[in-house]
Structure 1
Amino acid sequence: MGNVGPVQLTWRNGLDQAEVAEVVALLDAAAEADGVAPAGEHVLMRLRAHRDVAQQIEPVQADVRSEHFVVRNAADELLGYAHLDTADETDGLLVAELAVHPAQRRGGVGTRLVRALLERADLPVEGAGEDTGRLRIWSHGEHPGALRLAERFGFARPRELWRMGLRLAAAELPEAPAPDGVSIRAFRPGSDEAAVVAVNHRAFRWHPEQGAMSEADLREKEAEDWFDAAGFFLAVDPQDRLLGFHWTKVHPDGRGEVYVVGVDPDTQGSGLGKVLTAAGLRHLRAAGCAEVLLYVEGDNAPAIKVYQRLGFERTDLDVQFGR
């Protein structure tokens, strides 16, 4: 790729397979350059499960949760991409993630994408740092380019997501026996989905993404290559009623992740979250993971303290900018 030169931005309701491959390659290039993926897991899942452009006819548009903003140069090379999640648009909220090819940065591509997102959200291009709750744009890793764009367009900073890490091989994991009458077992695909979704909803009713997980979302993740039911721990009572769960994940690079820990609010204070977390960490260590990571809301002080007591330290920060 050369200099940016004249560029064209287009809005797309769907991408064909060739475009998806280009977008994924751009996201991979940005991740390699920055050390952090520019888009979340759900964006990649949506791209892989896309409907081709030819299928984007009016009768199915109500089911589409993604919009795509594509920037190309005169040679038709992909310079930048933004994914807009419209799943919560009925509540007035649009959430975006964007990336510019490392070879094309500081050439105005990011500016074009942010302007297009503001226009799509019916917001003035010039802002005064006020978060109306209409548009949120993620910056994974608090990228310097994102900080410059946020300042230029007057974005507020309503949300931070901490990434915390632990060197698991050397960690001293606590002994955490389950409370009386509680047993820990593995997730059973095909039978436990409804119970997990119900507890997840109760545990994360306040969370803008996790609390909305449906049974269809869960089954979609069960189809992912990384899914392992043996690393999905459920805490149940003597009647096999679900009280809480710890869903672990092993990344392709061998790092483990405390993917989700959810405890029914009725059982909070029983120490069940610590029990489940310790069980998952032991599993990840036995699976050969030398390091483990997790994500936690930056304003969730109680959860951060729990993880710090286990030895986790903040390693990075994702920021959601709002207008």
Structure 2
Amino acid sequence: MRCLEIKRDMGDDDIAEVTRLLDAAARADGRRPLSDHLYLDLVSGGHDGFAGLLAFEPGHDHPVAYAQVSKGNGSHAFELVVHPHHRYEMATIGPDLMDAALDVVRAEGGGIVNWWVFEPTSAHSALAESASMQQTRTLHQMRRRLPTERHATIDTRDFVPGSDDESWLSVNNRAFAEHAEQGGWTIETFSQRQQEDWFDPSGFRMHERDGRVAGFCWTKVHHDGHGVSDPNHSGDDGEIYVIAVDPDFHGLGLGSELTLAGLDHLAGLGITSALLYVDAANEGAVAMYRKLGFEVAATNAAFTAEVESRPGTVPERQGPC
């Protein structure tokens, strides 16, 4: 009989236990299983709207699966990771964790829940359907080799921590006002990212016009064997992590130029493979990246449901823990 623990705060031992599960999944899949904002919510111990769900089975000294709910910009994000040795049980583990996670959202007032899945299979679609979730978004991972044939023609500078934080935050939140994951950031959210080992101010290219930040290109390096791997490439990967132009400066071609500035920086580090993520519905951005030599390499999908409020208390444990 499976046991399920639901935690609103994660202690050091809890984080270590979940991290071992995530590492096992990463070794099996060649990529880190949780998105950045959920992972940072986990390792910080959990914020308001957080719930970590750990599934255990008799005879196993490790969690067989982990699911997480994190509150974002006007919605809840849900992700599910099953230990590689227990994926044959996905048909029962998945629904157990999905039902418990949605109960958490119901108890907290309900709302929109987004479940992101990397390269969804029929099993993912069946689980989504059982929870009355519909596929609402498709996210392309696009890739190209470096260096590029073209290079940036605009001036950019390094991000300056402590000095650029507020101006960057303003541009980011204006550019992503309707975005569930990237919009609505706070200084605390941003500070978390700056504490990550991969954060490099020189890879965070800032462009100014008329004394204002007009746009930025924030890059990230995935070192060999970590992060998002390319099966045809054994070295480090460079990512265009976040890129945006302030709405006041739209129409000037800055999107392409900032992308090139980021790619120039990555190529200068000796990196030969670049990737980025873009919403498939953003046809203009997809077309721009294709013109810059990117091609679709993988696809993620978001399954979405609107959960009604059902006030009550969700038990901390389900089953014979």
TM tier, smaller: 0.7 to 0.9
Residue 133 (structure 1) shift? 5.8
Report if aligned partners of 1:168, 1:285 keep a CA contact under 8 Å in 2: yes
Q: Are positions 1:23 and 2:18 aligned together? A: yes
Aligned residues: 289
Give, as a single letter, the amino acid of the residue that structure 1 aligns with 2:134: A
User: In 2, distance between residues paired with 1:213 and 1:238?
Assistant: 25
Structure 2 counterpart of 1:297, from 265, 275, 279: 279
TM-score by length of 1: 0.83
Report if aligned partners of 2:142, 2:276 keep a CA contact under 8 Å in 1: yes
User: In 1, distance between residues paired with 2:188 and 2:261?
Assistant: 27
Partner of 1:77: 62
Partner of 1:161: 139
The SS at the match of 1:210 is coil
TM-score by length of 2: 0.84
Q: Are positions 1:213 and 2:191 aligned together? A: no
1:227-242 counterparts in 2 under 5 A?
Answer: 227-239=199-211, 241-242=212-213
Give, as a single letter, the amino acid of the residue that structure 2 aligns with 1:194: E
Partner of 2:166: 194
Residue 175 (structure 1) shift? 4.0
Identity percentage of aligned residues: 36
Structure 2 counterpart of 1:248, from 191, 214, 219: 219
User: In 1, distance between residues paired with 2:156 and 2:29?
Assistant: 39
| Unaligned residue ranges in structure 1 (runs of 5+) | 1-5, 52-62, 124-131
User: In 2, distance between residues paired with 1:299 and 1:290?
Assistant: 28
Structure 2 counterpart of 1:110, from 84, 88, 94: 94
Report if aligned partners of 1:36, 1:140 keep a CA contact under 8 Å in 2: no
Structure 2 counterpart of 1:267, from 249, 257, 263: 249
User: In 2, distance between residues paired with 1:12 and 1:142?
Assistant: 27
Give, as a single letter, the amino acid of the residue that structure 2 aligns with 1:245: F
Partner of 1:14: 9
User: In 1, distance between residues paired with 2:257 and 2:62?
Assistant: 51
Partner of 1:33: 28
| Unaligned residue ranges in structure 2 (runs of 5+) | 225-235, 306-321
User: In 1, distance between residues paired with 2:166 and 2:103?
Assistant: 39
Q: Are positions 1:42 and 2:37 aligned together? A: yes
Deviations 1:182-216 (A, max 9, x none): x4211111100111011111111121111212222
User: In 1, distance between residues paired with 2:258 and 2:203?
Assistant: 11
Q: Are positions 1:66 and 2:50 aligned together? A: yes
Deviations 1:124-171 (A, max 9, x none): xxxxxxxx96322121232453233123433210111111111124x4
User: In 1, distance between residues paired with 2:190 and 2:120?
Assistant: 29
User: In 1, distance between residues paired with 2:187 and 2:204?
Assistant: 15
Report if aligned partners of 1:39, 1:140 keep a CA contact under 8 Å in 2: no
Report if aligned partners of 2:105, 2:111 keep a CA contact under 8 Å in 1: no
Partner of 2:308: none
Give, as a single letter, the amino acid of the residue that structure 2 aligns with 1:177: T
